Structure formats: structure tokens, C-alpha cells
Chains A and B, each alone.
Chain A
Amino acid sequence: MKRKLIAAIGVATMIAGIAACGSDKKDDKAAEKPADQTGTVTVWLMAEAQTAWPELVQNTTAQFKAKYPKVNVKIQYQQWSDKVQKLDAALSGSSAPDVVELGNTETQTYILNGALAELDKKSFQNSDTWIKGLEDTCTYQGKLYCAPYYAGARVAIYNTADFKAGTGSDAFPATEDELTAALDKIEAKKGGDKTYSPLYLPGQYWYAAMSYVKAYGGQIAKTDGTKWTGDLESPQAQQGIQHFIDLVKKYNHGDQTKDEADHANVMAHQKAGVIYGNGWEAGSVITPPNGNAKLKDVIKTATMPGPNGKALPSFIGGSDLAVVNKSKVKDLAKEWIADFTDEKNEAALVTKQTLPNNTKQLEPMKADPATAAAANAVPDAWFTPIAPGWAAIEKQGILKTMLLDILKGKSVADATKAADDKINSLINTAS
């Protein structure tokens, strides 16, 4: 078995690396040589691939063209805001894309509705070390429907100058008790500025709130294998939510009812000592136009300590790539994904403070202080329930509403009960 696997990986690498022989593959185009194959592969990537890491597309196009000179690859960049409508419409017609990028909380919707084609895990480089949280979002009943593309984990982003001024040290505390002590000191030091928050946790930041739920051993929803039920009413989950709310109320001196959309901006204006954000958001804080270049050497990332002396479990976000079931060039599409997510491209992502899709390449990131915190957060990371109706729950902002209600004065018990009821009504229906 193992030998087989190694052999398979070898073949996969060969396909990805050198021009593969058509005869090796058993598909409908087997008779055709790659150089003679024609057709068009349409790829829908999200805008980051155009703005944040354009070299991935350039690499892949060059590589793919070398193998299939007559195949035309059309890359079309999409915006997150209205992509769902566009994709939903396109899948109903005859002009759907062949490859599509999906956020990892969206994939289940498309898998369950039969929109995606099954993939062979062995054809992707480093697939044996794929980050499990990401791979799980692509898997349904043991079959793989998409390939992980990149990941993101949340870390503490802090202002070393504020820490130095408040505590005398620019090191980030390792435990939550030490952190709150440091925050109190910073607060005392900055007392004059009523808009300064030692820890800026926005009240509707549900990814953070759920990390505290996870830290206490709670979860958003539980399953008995067939049916899902909301689990926010459990004592552990309530404890976690209460802990989060306490932190918000104590240390956030901005408007506590916002979500995290502009927390990097708060930090860029030097109105926050610590924010809890995606690893790459440290870059947003210091990079113009929106960031503040003066903070270049001041902003650092660290592992966020959680309750009970452990690190705070991070939500793992990211993107996956899938082949649309209606595609007429599935094999070419699969190969394009394999090229796009190969080791070289994933390495390029690492340089953009983005986590690669596999632990093999993640390992070296742990040694680099700039990326260590995010890389270290991956093993303990949590993910949203891989349930049929999860996308609807997220899009309707049910967890945000729950947190807002608590901030407005509803008891944690009542708010979690209401949220569970809503979750139960949506979670088991494919969305």
C-alpha cells in the first residue's frame, strides 16, 4: 500500500513537473498527445491572486503552456462580495467555469449539491501532508472534491512600543494572566487617551469568540453522525462566550459592537495595543495606503494566549480549488489545479505571509519569527462545523447577532439558546 502511494506521488510529481506522457493516463483524451490537445480551461480565482500574489498565475500559466501549447487558459478574477450569485447562475447554464476557487466554509454547499467533480488526491503535490482542517472541508463521505489552496490562522498582532512603555518589555506575554496584567499596565500608561484600547476585540468578532468557546472545550454544533444540533448552550460554550465578552468590555474602548472589519485600521492609528487577526493583517497595519508605514518595526505577531494556560485555538480559514462537474475539460482542469498548488507556488505564498496548504512547507515557517505565530496556530486550529447548512448560518450572521444581543444586555444563557434554535433550523438542510 505504502509503496503504491509513493509510486503514485512519484507519478504525480512527474506529471506536475515534466511534460507527462499521454499514455500514462487513463482518460478520455488518452490517445491525444498533450502537445496536440486543444480546448479552453476557464479558471475563476478570487482577486487576491491578481493583487496579492500574481506570480502564482504567471508560474502556472507558463508551466501549463509548456505542456499544452494549444490549450488556452482563461483566468477570470472574481470579487468575494457577489461571487455566490455569479457562480450560482453560471452553474445553471452552459458557460460555467472549469476551475473555481471557493472559500473553505462554502465548499460543502457545492459538494452536497453535486456541483463539483471528484478529485484524485494522489495527483496533487504534498497532498499527504495537507493541513487536515482544509482537507476536511473538501471531503465528503470519504471522497475528495477540492484541493486546498492556502490557509490563514489568527495570531496576536501587537504594538511593541506600547508594551515597552507599559511593561518595560517588548516581549509578548505567554499566558493570559500575564497578558491581562500587561494590558492593565498599558491602560494605566495610556489612560489619557479615551479611545485607546489595550486589547481591541470587537464585540461581533465571532471567530474570536468561538476560539474561547473552543478553549473551554465547547463547540458550535455537535453531530451524532447523521444529524447536527447547536451546542452553544453547553456550559463550556457559555463559559467561553462569557470570557470573550468580559475581555471586550474590559479592554475595548472603541465602539464595542463592531465586527473585526477595520481592526487593522485601529492599530494603524495607534489606538490599539493588541489585535487578534490573520497573520497577514500585520502587513495591512504597516503597509500603505491604509496602513501606517511608521509602525514598520513596531508591529509584531505572537501566539495569542488563551484561558487555562494554553494558546488560544485559532480558526483556520482559507481557500480551496475545485473542478466543476459540468466542465468538458475536467482532466485539464485537474492538472491546472495540480500545477497551481505545487510546491513552488505554495512556497511563493509563504513569502506573502500566507500559510501553505501542507504541513511540510509549514514546518520551516515555525522557525521564522515573522511567521512562527501563525504556523504554530495550525495544529490546534478549529474549524466551523462541516454540516450541510453551515453556509446559511454564517451568511445570516447568527453568531454575530448572538454576540450583539449579549452586548446589548441579553443574558448569555438566553442568547445562546436563541442561537441554538436558529442553528437547529438551518444546519441539517443543504444550503
Chain B
Amino acid sequence: MSAADTHATEPVTGGRPQLPSPLTTRPAAKRTGRAAGRSRQSRSLPYLLIAPALVVMIGVLGYPLVDTIVLSFQDERRNNLWNGVAAPWVGFDQYTSILGDSEFWTVVVRTVVFVIVCVVGTMAAGLLIALLMQRVSNWVRVTMSSVMIAVWAMPLLVATSVFKFMFDSDYGLVNQLLTRLPGVDYTRHNWFLNPTTGMGIIALLVIWGAIPFIAISLHAALTQVPKELEEAARIDGAKGFGIFRYVTFPIIKPVFIMTSTLSVIWDFGVLGQILLMRNGQPEQDYQLLGLYSYTQAFTVNSFSRGAAISVVTVLLLSGIAVYYLRQLLKIGEVE
């Protein structure tokens, strides 16, 4: 390790006039003009940089990841877990039973619809708020971001409780306000009786809770947009939306794609909000994949089934992941 360190710093002290190993040019072309020692250094440097991250992640998550996959091919129950009794291997049984279960597919479809609604809602609102934050006076922006941070800092338990209060059938503010409108009686109206409105309220909670992260990240990205460029585009005759589309958006695109992908991933895993909103026992109509996997593992006592559902979820999500990866690699490696 220390030897490598010395290597890494060696060329630096030499006040080298050239770049180390930028991504812009093909590595092969670059390497030709270099001294062998420097080439070795530039090859080891990235590994040194990623080493700590790898150590932490493999150390903590390596075994659990492998174990989750192994579990999904077994039939592990509490008895196996607690008493060291080896769980029997069942091959693809968990998978065939899940994939052949119509309930599972209903949950998948419901999850996909829910995720689309939440992600589109979050990203649209987050982007608009980020753009708005650029246009307002300083004091308004500080107010906006403080409130946003306060929203973000609200623990899930509390945020969900507040929404539950507001939409409560008996003492909810929403019903009481709606009832004040002429000709409207929402007394005792239960928003959760109809799963569609119930899920709508949960989606509202999820979107509301995710907006701060998206808005703050996108706002941070927007500060990287050079104002000269936008000015130049304006002088060239570009209009508001055109400037956004051809000048602003390309710069924030990496962050936009990253945050939207993360939103997809997180919304796929929504669990706590539903659990708390439905008093810990969500009805069948409220099951989403994350919750479903959790329920199967902890209440139906099959850790293996829970694990298999997780693996299937990951595979389903990989479709989105592949799209993201292609975008990511495109942006990262400008040819």
C-alpha cells in the first residue's frame, strides 16, 4: 500500500505538464506517448481511489448480497435461521411459485402504476421548483429551501401521522374543510375505502416527501449552468423554453437522470408509508412489491420467498437500470 502511494505521488512532484488519464481520449492513443512508469501510476491511481469504497461495500454488503441470492434457492424458515438447521435446497421452486401466483402479478402491475405516478409527479414538481428557486429573490429562496429541508427532515413516522390526521374520516381537516363548501358533505368520508383514492393519498405523501431531495439536487445542478451560455443563446434569439431545452437541460441532465432513476428505485421500495397509514396491516389492495416482499419474509415466515421476491424485483428494475446505464455511459464518455 505505501509503495503504491509513493508511486502515485511521484510524477506529481515532477510538475508534469500533461493530464494523467482523462476520459476524453481513447486510452490506447493516450498511453503511446507516455513513459512506462507514469502509465503504471495512472493505472493504479483510479484503483487507489475506489479502494476504500470497495472495502466498505464488500465488507458490509458482500455477504448479505450473496446470502440473499442463495436464500432464494432454499426454503429457509425461522427454524433454520435460529437453530442452525441447514435449509433445504429447492432450486427454482420459490421463483416458479411466485411467478405463477396471480396475486404477485397484480402487485407488480399496481407497483408499476404507482411508481410512474410518483416519479413523474416528483420529477415534474421538483424541476419546476428548482427552476423557480433560481428566479426568486434571495430571501424567498432561503425560505423555500428551509421549508424544503424541514419537510425532508420530518421523520417518516411523523409525516405519515400528519397526513393520516389530515385525511382522517372523523377528525380530519380535509373532510371538515370540504364540508364547509356549499352543497358538499364529506363528514365521515373515508378516503381509504376506495383503494384508488387511498393509494392517491399515499402517492401524494410520497411525492411531497421526495420533492425536497429532487428540488435541492436539481437546483444544485442548475448552479453549474454558466450564465454566459444562456445569455449567448438569448442573443442568438432563443426563447425561454428553447434555452432550457438546448442549453440548460443538457448540463443538468446527468443529475436529472440520476435523481429520476433513484426516484424509481426508491418508489419501488415504498413500505413504511403504507404500513403506517394502514395501521400496520395493509389490505391486499394496498400491497406494493417492497411491502409484499417484507410481508412474505416476516409475517408468512418464509425468508426465502421474501428473498426471491427481492431478486425478481431487482431483475424487473434492471430494465430501467440498463436504460440509465446507457445514458450514464454516454454522458460520461464523450466521444
Are A430 and B301 in touch, CB under 8 angstroms? Answer: yes
B330: Cβ under 8 A from any A Cβ? no
> What does DSSP make chain A's interface, helix, strand, loop or mixed?
loop
B83: Cβ under 8 A from any A Cβ? yes
Given contacts A113-B77, A254-B188, A392-B301, contact A259 B295 (CB under 8 A): no
Please give me the residue from chain A that is nearest to B285 by CB atom. A401
A424: Cβ under 8 A from any B Cβ? no
Are A257 and B77 in touch, CB under 8 angstroms? Answer: no
Please give me the residue from chain A that is nearest to B294 by CB atom. A85
Q: Which of A24-51 contact B (CB under 8 A)?
A: none
A175: B residues at CB distance < 8 A:
none
Please give me the residue from chain B that is nearest to A395 by CB atom. B299
User: Would you give the 0/1 interface string for A33-72, flagging 1 where the beta carbon is closer than 8 Å to chain B?
Assistant: 0000000000000000000000000000000000000000
A426: B residues at CB distance < 8 A:
300
Are B279 and A194 in touch, CB under 8 angstroms? Answer: no
Are B193 and A195 in touch, CB under 8 angstroms? Answer: no
B297 to chain A, nearest CB (A): 9
Are A257 and B193 in touch, CB under 8 angstroms? Answer: yes
A3: Cβ under 8 A from any B Cβ? no
Are A85 and B298 in touch, CB under 8 angstroms? Answer: yes
User: Would you give the 0/1 interface string for B244-269, flagging 1 where the beta carbon is closer than 8 Å to chain A?
Assistant: 00000000000000000000000000
Please give me the residue from chain B that is nearest to A252 by CB atom. B188
A88: B residues at CB distance < 8 A:
78, 81, 298
Are A430 and B79 in touch, CB under 8 angstroms? Answer: yes
B282: A residues at CB distance < 8 A:
397
- A426 vs B299: C-alpha distance when bound (angstroms): 11
Are A255 and B78 in touch, CB under 8 angstroms? Answer: no
User: Would you give the 0/1 interface string for A273-309, flagging 1 where the beta carbon is closer than 8 Å to chain B?
Assistant: 0000000000000000000000000000000000000
Given contacts A195-B170, A255-B169, A401-B284, contact A109 B299 (CB under 8 A): no
Are B300 and A431 in touch, CB under 8 angstroms? Answer: yes
Q: By the criterion of a CB under 8 Å from any partner CB, how many residues of chain A are at the interface?
A: 36
A185: Cβ under 8 A from any B Cβ? no
Between A85, A194, A255, A325, the greatest number of chain B beta carbons within 10 A of the residue's beta carbon is seen for A255
Are A396 and B81 in touch, CB under 8 angstroms? Answer: no
Are B295 and A92 in touch, CB under 8 angstroms? Answer: no
Q: Which of B287-301 contact A (CB under 8 A)?
A: 295, 298-301
Between B187, B193, B298, B301, the greatest number of chain A beta carbons within 10 A of the residue's beta carbon is seen for B301
User: Would you give the 0/1 interface string for A392-404, flagging 1 where the beta carbon is closer than 8 Å to chain B?
Assistant: 1001110011001
Are B299 and A431 in touch, CB under 8 angstroms? Answer: yes
Given contacts A92-B82, A195-B187, A396-B295, contact A109 B301 (CB under 8 A): yes
Q: Which of A92-141 contact B (CB under 8 A)?
A: 92, 109, 112-115
- A396 vs B279: C-alpha distance when bound (angstroms): 11
Are A113 and B82 in touch, CB under 8 angstroms? Answer: yes
B170: A residues at CB distance < 8 A:
195, 254-255, 258, 266
What are 19 inter-chain pairs, A to B, with CB distance below 8 A? A81-B280, A84-B298, A91-B82, A92-B81, A92-B82, A109-B301, A113-B82, A115-B78, A195-B170, A255-B169, A255-B188, A258-B170, A259-B279, A261-B279, A391-B299, A397-B281, A404-B283, A426-B300, A430-B78
Residues of A within 8 A of B (CB): 81, 84-85, 88, 91-92, 109, 112-115, 194-195, 253-255, 257-259, 261, 266, 325-326, 391-392, 395-397, 400-401, 404, 408, 426, 429-431
6 tightest Cβ-Cβ pairs between the two chains A and B: A397-B281, A255-B169, A395-B299, A113-B78, A431-B301, A113-B79
Not counting A91-B81, A257-B169, a sample of 11 additional A-B residue pairs whose C-beta atoms are within 8 angstroms of each other reads A88-B78, A113-B78, A195-B170, A257-B193, A258-B170, A266-B170, A326-B82, A392-B299, A392-B301, A396-B281, A426-B300
